[in-house]
């Protein structure tokens, strides 16, 4: 009965494999950093740097485990019990969900660390094809009749909400705070969008693989990443005159670290993000360092741009969400008007 | 053979008319063949080639680097580990369920059959959410699990559970018709001749269902390796820990690491092709054993 013997062999292998998977390093501490998609390369390098730093100062071996996914779904996973010691997500709105839905962090979480708990920042830029054939220099060019714009749908994509708000903020500045004119400007911009993909990755594909559109609105760090990965020399990054300050915040997940007894190392992990070494790593991986002195070292990579914060122009995320993106908000009205045309 | 018979007809004009009546004209034949071949090429061969092209575009060294990178190796190891647990569980369950359904009469049998089919009918994402609602910290058993420091979802056990759930029907579904068709005479004969239940199972039932069982295992295996939707919900995506191969591919893709994503895809595709190959051999074997059983 060869067959039976084979079955027995499989049965014998199972516990052996189980042991292999469960083998965990002992006598050291481990952290779980739940992050979003494009931070992988940055945290891979940072985790090594931090491990060295922590060994030197606290004398403890630390292994940092990483989880990456869409920012919103990562927050959801932590709420449902993913055992994160720290979260490093794309939006304050997603981090705030940990407080609203599960009481995992205190209300004042964002004021616990410098720069709104955002050790690195980014902004919204315009990605154009090689040689910039349509001569796109600023937001104004996106409402020209001969320009097609690619951006994901702000209803479904967190990243695309920044695109929308960046354009809105620019128009407000341009027209002296006239909300109606800003509304018209953003309407014209979205009328130039041939396909509204649900997510950032789909929109990237539309622009890069299907070669649709003349300009792609993107986060600066993701624009750099996609230029790096999808073809150097085929795309150019245009930094507009005014844009929004995108702050991907970080926080310790209080409930988890207190239960696991990892608060000291988790706080050390986030504090070290503000060190010169970490700030340089952030710059290397296309995020703007929050420390102005280190940011100056990367001046040739990140052109000067007038940045406005979401709090000063839109009164914070929750308010922006309510006015612009909730059902019946400005964005719905804009889409409806375009559909009628 | 056909031409010979037709050639035997004395009148050649009549023979030609017969041929026309029993077969399609050439143009129709070639159009149909052409359509099906181009369909195959477009939807099957081309995507396979695209994956291979994407995987090897930057050379063998890049491909090797992508699949030997620690996170990729961990994903491969995890996928194989899950399969090594899930498949035996489903073998036991499948054989037991098929045995009960095919050889015994009892109340609620049709309900059992329907229940076995359930995982096919439910969307994988919903399967994942069911277990999040059950085991998540906001869910029913979550607080109890947390109090006892037990981790089910966002850890390996959760992945094993959702994959076992999703692949549950494969083996049972394969065996039920087979065992029903074979009836229970042979088992009854064995029992009346004095063999015990286990002996009857090992020496009578199992050899009879051997090829069907292997076929079911192959299908179960293929699906367990490829399962995405449910795992994506319960995995937590911890690198090197809870990312299975399909999840690892998605993560790579989302990070613009297209070549690496295609490299791991090609590996998964290779496993699928091996599975298909084994499946053909098994089908051929089944056919042969059936024929030899038919001829006394």
B-chain CB neighbours of A67 within 8 Å are: 236-239, 242
pLDDT of A19: 38
Shortest Cα distance, chain A CAs vs residue B251, angstroms = 7
Shortest Cα distance, chain B CAs vs residue A14, angstroms = 6
A-chain CB neighbours of B236 within 8 Å are: 34, 67, 77, 82
Q: Which whole number is the average pLDDT over A255-275?
A: 95
Q: Which domains does chain A have, with CATH numbers?
A: 24-118+248-274 (3.40.190.10), 121-246+303-340 (3.40.190.10)
List the one residue out of A235, A209, A212 whose CA is nearest residue A136: A235
Asked if the Cβ–Cβ distance from A81 to B254 is below 8 Å, we say no
B-chain CB neighbours of A102 within 8 Å are: 137-138
Q: Which of B148, B237, B252 to mutate to test the interface with A (most CBs of A within 10 A)?
A: B237
Asked if the Cβ–Cβ distance from A80 to B153 is below 8 Å, we say yes
Shortest Cα distance, chain B CAs vs residue A80, angstroms = 5
pLDDT at A123 over 70: yes
Asked if the Cβ–Cβ distance from B84 to A14 is below 8 Å, we say yes
pTM for the model: 0.79
Contacts for A193 with CB less than 8 Å, ≥ 6 apart: A148, A149, A150, A151
Asked if the Cβ–Cβ distance from A4 to B142 is below 8 Å, we say no
Domain layout of chain B by residue ranges: 2-51, 59-294
Touching B: A residues 145-184, CB under 8 Å: none
A202 touches chain B (CB under 8 A): no
Comparing CB atoms, the residue among B210, B238, B253 nearest residue A32 is B238
pLDDT at A26 over 60: no
In chain A, whose CA is at the least distance from the CA of B258? A229
**Domain over B59-294 is classified CATH 3.40.50.300:** no
Q: Which residue has the higher pLDDT, A240 or B137?
A: A240
pLDDT of A316: 86
Tens-binned pLDDT, residue by residue, of chain B (296 aa): 444 454 455 677 777 777 666 777 888 889 999 999 999 888 888 988 988 998 998 889 989 998 999 889 999 999 999 999 999 999 999 999 998 998 888 888 889 888 998 998 899 999 999 999 999 888 888 888 888 888 888 999 999 999 999 999 999 999 999 998 888 888 888 888 888 888 888 888 888 888 889 889 998 998 999 999 999 999 988 988 999 999 999 888 877 788 899 999 999 999 888 888 888 888 888 788 777 766 55
Q: Which whole number is the average pLDDT over A308-324?
A: 89
pLDDT of B1: 44
Touching B: A residues 241-300, CB under 8 Å: none
Asked if the Cβ–Cβ distance from B254 to A80 is below 8 Å, we say no
Neighbours of A99 (CB within 10 A): 18
- C-alpha–C-alpha distance, residues B117 and B168, integer Å: 8
What's the ipTM? 0.74
A68 touches chain B (CB under 8 A): yes
């Amino acid at each position: 009965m060869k067959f039976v013997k084979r079955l027995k062999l499989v049965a014998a292998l199972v516990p052996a494999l189980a042991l292999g998977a469960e083998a965990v390093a002992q006598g050291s501490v481990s952290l779980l950093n739940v992050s979003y998609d494009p931070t992988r390369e940055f945290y891979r390098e940072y985790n090594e740097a931090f491990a060295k730093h922590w060994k030197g100062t606290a004398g403890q071996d630390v292994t940092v485990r990483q989880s990456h996914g869409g920012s919103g779904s990562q927050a959801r996973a932590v709420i449902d019990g993913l055992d994160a010691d720290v979260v490093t997500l794309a939006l304050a709105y997603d981090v705030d969900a940990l407080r609203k839905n599960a009481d995992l962090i205190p209300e004042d979480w964002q004021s616990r660390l410098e720069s709104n708990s955002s050790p690195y920042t980014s902004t919204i830029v315009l990605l154009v094809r090689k040689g910039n054939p349509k001569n796109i220099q600023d937001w104004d060019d996106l409402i020209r009749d001969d320009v097609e714009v690619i951006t994901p749908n702000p209803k479904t994509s967190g990243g695309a909400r920044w695109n929308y708000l960046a354009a809105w903020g620019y128009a407000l500045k341009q027209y002296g705070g006239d909300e109606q004119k800003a509304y018209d400007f953003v309407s014209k911009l979205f009328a130039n969008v041939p396909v509204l993909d649900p997510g950032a990755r789909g929109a990237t594909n539309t622009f890069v693989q299907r070669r649709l559109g003349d300009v792609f609105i993107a986060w600066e760090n993701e624009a750099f990443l996609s230029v790096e990965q999808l073809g150097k020399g085929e795309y150019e990054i245009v930094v507009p005159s005014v844009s929004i300050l995108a702050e991907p915040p970080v926080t310790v997940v209080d409930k988890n670290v207190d239960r696991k007894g990892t608060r000291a190392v988790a706080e050390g992990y986030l504090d070290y993000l503000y060190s010169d070494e970490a700030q340089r790593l952030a710059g290397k991986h296309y995020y703007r360092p929050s420390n102005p002195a280190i940011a100056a070292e990367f001046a040739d990579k990140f052109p000067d741009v007038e940045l406005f914060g979401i709090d000063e122009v839109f009164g914070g995320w929750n308010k922006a969400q309510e006015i612009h993106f909730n059902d019946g908000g400005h964005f719905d009205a804009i889409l409806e008007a375009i559909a009628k045309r | 053979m056909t031409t010979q018979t037709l050639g035997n007809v004395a009148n050649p004009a009549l023979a030609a008319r017969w041929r026309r009546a029993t077969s399609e004209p050439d143009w129709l034949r070639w159009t149909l063949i052409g359509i099906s071949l181009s369909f195959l090429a477009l939807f099957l061969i081309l995507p396979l080639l695209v994956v291979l092209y994407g995987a090897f575009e930057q050379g063998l060294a890049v491909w090797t680097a992508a699949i030997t990178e620690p996170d990729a190796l961990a994903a491969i190891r995890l996928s194989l580990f899950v399969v090594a647990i899930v498949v035996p569980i489903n073998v036991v369950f499948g054989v037991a369920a098929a045995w009960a359904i095919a050889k015994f009469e009892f109340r609620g049998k049709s309900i059992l059959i329907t229940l076995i089919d359930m995982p096919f009918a439910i969307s994988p994402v919903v399967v994942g959410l069911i277990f999040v609602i059950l085991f998540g910290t906001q869910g029913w058993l979550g607080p109890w699990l947390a109090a006892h420091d037990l981790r089910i979802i966002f850890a390996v056990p959760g992945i094993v559970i959702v994959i076992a759930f999703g692949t549950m029907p494969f083996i049972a579904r394969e065996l039920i018709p087979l065992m029903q068709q074979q009836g229970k005479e042979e088992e009854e004969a064995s029992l009346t001749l004095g063999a015990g239940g286990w002996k009857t199972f090992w020496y009578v039932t199992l050899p009879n269902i051997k090829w069907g069982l292997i076929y079911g295992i192959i299908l179960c295996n293929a699906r367990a390796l490829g399962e995405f939707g449910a795992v994506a919900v319960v995995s937590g995506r911890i690198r090197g820990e809870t990312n299975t191969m399909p999840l690892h591919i998605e993560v790579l893709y989302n990070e613009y690491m297209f070549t690496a994503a295609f490299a791991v895809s090609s590996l998964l595709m290779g496993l699928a092709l091996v599975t298909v190959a084994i499946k053909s051999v098994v089908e051929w074997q089944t056919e042969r054993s059936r024929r030899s059983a038919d001829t006394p």
